[in-house]
Amino acid sequence: MHEDEQKDAPAWRRRFGCTARHGACWLHTQPSATSQAPTTPTAPATTGAQPVYGGTLNLDLAGAFPHLDPVKAYDTTSYEAVLQFYNQLVTYQGASNTIIPSLASRYTISPNGKVYTFYLRNATFWNGHPVTAQSFITEFERVLNPANSSGGQGFIDPIIAGSNAYYSGHAKTISGLKSLNGGKTLQITLMQRDPVFLYVLAMPFFSAVDPSYIAAHSESYIDHNPMGTGPFYLASYQPNQQWVFKKNPHYFQKGIPYLNEIVFTNNSSPSAELLHYKQGLTGLLGYNIGGNGIPSQDYLPIMMSPTYSKQVYKVVQVATQYIGLNSKYGPTANVKVRRALEYAINKNYLVKVLGGRALPANQIIPPSMPSGYEAKLPANATYSYNPALAKKLLAQAGYPHGFTTTIYCDNSNPDDLRITEAVQSMLKAVGVTANVNQSSWGTFLTNNETGKQPMFNLAWVEDFPDPSDFLNTLFNSNQRPVNNSTMYSNPTVDKLLNTAANMPAGTARDNLYKQAQNIIMSQAAWIPYAYPVFTAAVQPWLKGYYLNPNQVDPLQYVWIAKH
């Protein structure tokens, strides 16, 4: 996913791995079935206690939701809300990576893997309007509308037949999308087989939207006033202060949600957040999967407590924290400069800055990804902390006395600034003056997506368990500048990524991604510095909570026990 606004995480751009609490790694499976029988989503098994209906769950939020519109949401903070408001054709089953129908009751895939047919449930939007095939077609058109600058565009263009013609303005409809059977069936035709297409359809970008509501309102209005099918609807909000989600009594999945209401309150004080949790006023501390979780200043007090330490969940995420280096503009357009900066960074020290809640990173693909991670990189793609070599490379690049630049980060979390300032100090030691530019998460993200930030501190959390989500999304030339905000471009890498995208899962495909990663690392488009560990404290009276590697908190499934 793209990024997140956790108080104690760097900005995150989307999405996770191996649970230490339960001592088991996530099982990653490919959605390879050619036909899916009718399925009704069910709540994950509870601990044996009978779920209790009703009640209000209060949660502290590190900052405002940047977006409430699925066409724009590409950060884990926005996902927290959007996945409660909207539904997709398919979703993930519980804590697994298994794809199951959601607003589709079942689906079929043609023998050649190019035609997907989805049979829709009887479901309605909050305003009572029915969900039809057009509900999805309208959203696909919005994603492909250049005016919306949607991060989802690259996931379906040019994958879906006619998508590129629509995006470029050469067609008024998307030829690969058809409404059949009076709107009760949606047929999607691809240009060629895509092994991760079902994963893509589970992303919030491709939610059902009400066409009449979309037509009646401006994009800016929709971004603050959602109209979805989800288990909760937005009852009220005070801008940048509080958001109240209420139970959708007509939700198509019978029996949930259990809660009557969720109240998110913007709270920028980690000490106040800890106090609220200890007082039992909030149900979760450090929640919102995709961030570093419990604020660093709260982490030690929690872990040193015999009581609260037992309430902590820990997960090594399928995520990479990195410093992005612009490959098109400024001194970092020179590959020798970028390689020099790689050698200037002490990653082990940065892990200490994160309180040890991470592993040092040496490549783009995290070790918890089921494929693509390399136990040993080629020599030209391997970097160690070596300031002397960094200075030598800078001199060779024409910067014997260094240069002045700017490193961007968001201001919502102390760890983000601490990491950025530590990097600033390391760069200063090799002669590079990096001025820090901090801004709000929304401002930072908007600016980052222009592709003009010379350096930035960011992170990527998986959208789905496949190396293409990291490599194609962030380094393919066709993803510039919104997703590929380093502006990296290499025709050889593009060819490897485009070829791999259409191959079936297996060793041959994995090897192409490894080749692409080796080239990218040798050219130092990123300085990957950490693989983060997610932590969250969950009140003993909050039941039904679990961690999914691909989605945010399962708020529709949690319930409050008597206490």
No. of helices (H) and no. of strands (E), the chain: 17, 23
Read off the pLDDT of residues 194-218 as tens digits, 9 standing for 90 and up: 989 999 999 999 999 999 999 999 9
- pLDDT category of residue 526 using cuts at 50, 70 and 90: very high
Is residue 41 over pLDDT 50? no
Residue 11: predicted pLDDT: 43
Select from 226, 213, 218 the least CA-distant residue to 83: 226
Q: In terms of domains, do 501 and 359 share one?
A: yes
Q: In terms of domains, do 140 and 254 share one?
A: no
In a domain? residue 54: no
In a domain? residue 303: yes
Q: Mean pLDDT check: name the lowest of 37-41, 80-84, 91-95, 270-274.
A: 37-41
Neighbours of 277 (CB within 10 A): 23
Between 162 and 440, the higher pLDDT residue: 162
At which of 223, 241, 272 does a domain end? 223
Only one residue has tokens 């087989």, namely: 193
Residue 549: predicted pLDDT: 61
Q: 483 to each of 260, 301, 449, 458, 474, how far by Cα in Å?
A: 37, 37, 7, 12, 5
Select from 401, 300, 403, 292 the least CA-distant residue to 9: 292
Is residue 350 over pLDDT 80? yes
- pLDDT category of residue 268 using cuts at 50, 70 and 90: confident
Q: Mean pLDDT check: name the lowest of 8-22, 352-366, 531-545.
A: 8-22
User: Average per-residue pLDDT in the chain?
Assistant: 89
CATH code at position 121: 3.90.76.10
Read off the pLDDT of residues 237-253 as tens digits, 9 standing for 90 and up: 999 899 999 999 999 99
Task: Give the H/E segment covering residue 473.
Answer: helix 468-475
Q: Which residue range forms the structural domain that includes residue 219?
A: 66-223
At which of 223, 249, 281 does a domain end? 223
Mean pLDDT of 428-448: 94
- pLDDT category of residue 30 using cuts at 50, 70 and 90: very low
Read off the pLDDT of residues 361-376 as tens digits, 9 standing for 90 and up: 999 999 988 889 999 9
> Hey, CA dihedral for 104, 105, 108, 109, is it positive or negative?
positive
Mean pLDDT of 25-38: 40
Residue 464: predicted pLDDT: 86
In a domain? residue 6: no
Q: In terms of domains, do 495 and 386 share one?
A: yes
Is residue 554 over pLDDT 90? no
Q: In terms of domains, do 150 and 281 share one?
A: no
Q: 471 to each of 139, 372, 409, 515, how far by Cα in Å?
A: 25, 10, 22, 11
Is residue 1 over pLDDT 60? no
Q: In terms of domains, do 210 and 309 share one?
A: no
Read off the pLDDT of residues 381-428 as tens digits, 9 standing for 90 and up: 999 999 999 999 999 999 999 999 999 999 877 889 999 999 999 999
Residue 298 exposure: Cα atoms within 13 Å on the Cβ side: 26
Q: In terms of domains, do 370 and 508 share one?
A: yes
Residue 44: predicted pLDDT: 46
Residue 287: predicted pLDDT: 73
Is residue 7 over pLDDT 60? no
Domain tally for the chain? 3
Q: In terms of domains, do 105 and 215 share one?
A: yes
Distance in angstroms (rounded) separating the CA atoms of residues 93 and 548: 9
Query: 262 - beta bridge partners?
Result: 57, 245
Q: 38 to each of 88, 139, 203, 229, 476, how far by Cα in Å?
A: 16, 24, 21, 19, 37
Q: In terms of domains, do 336 and 451 share one?
A: yes
CATH code at position 515: 3.10.105.10
pTM: 0.75
| CA 135 to the chain's CA centroid | 24
In a domain? residue 38: no
Residue 35: predicted pLDDT: 54
Q: In terms of domains, do 347 and 425 share one?
A: yes
- pLDDT category of residue 15 using cuts at 50, 70 and 90: very low
Q: In terms of domains, do 271 and 374 share one?
A: no
Q: In terms of domains, do 526 and 556 share one?
A: no
Q: 409 to each of 28, 94, 329, 416, 498, how far by Cα in Å?
A: 32, 34, 18, 7, 31
Q: In terms of domains, do 236 and 325 share one?
A: no
Percentage of the residues of the chain whose pLDDT score is greater than 90 = 73
Between 472 and 39, the higher pLDDT residue: 472
Is residue 23 over pLDDT 50? no
